Structure 1
Amino acid sequence: MATSISAVVLLGIVVFVLIQGGFVRLGPALACAAFGSFLASTGAAPVITPAINAINDWISSI
């Protein structure tokens, strides 16, 4: 749970900086957020979650 909250905060900051810097416009950023939200409710979520956890564990071990 703490990992997912940290990831959400980190990715939110990255998206905010990209929007403010003019690299990404608000429309595409919202479309990506909506896509991620819908993707989380599909059958792909059980495959994606362990992959993200494995990457997180790998980064933590460095």
Structure 2
Amino acid sequence: MVITIPLVLLLAVMVALLLRFKALGAGAAVVVALFGFYLAGTDSADSVNQLVTAVTGALADIGR
């Protein structure tokens, strides 16, 4: 099984749903987005990328 939906699109949908159901305020959404941008610029970005790759690989293996 190949995951073809970009992770960014899934995260955007999740944030949109949280905002729709008022589970997350607009200010918190901005903070989360900014945190993601800043995290991408740090040395931990490679570790986060490897973690996401491992999790998506594990989820793909569950579907087999």
Whether TM-score is above 0.5 comes out as: yes
Partner in structure 1 of residue 61 of structure 2: 61
Unaligned runs of 5+ residues in structure 2 are none
Of the two, which has the highest radius of gyration?
2
Residue 30 of structure 1 is matched in structure 2 by 30
Deviations 1:17-57 (A, max 9, x none): 10010110111011110001100110111111111100010
RMSD of equivalent CA atoms: 1.2
How many residues get paired?
A: 59
Q: Taking every aligned residue pair, what percent have the same amino acid on both sides?
A: 29
User: Normalised by the size of structure 2, how large is the TM-score?
Assistant: 0.85
TM-score by length of structure 1 reads 0.88
Letter in 2 for 1:43: D
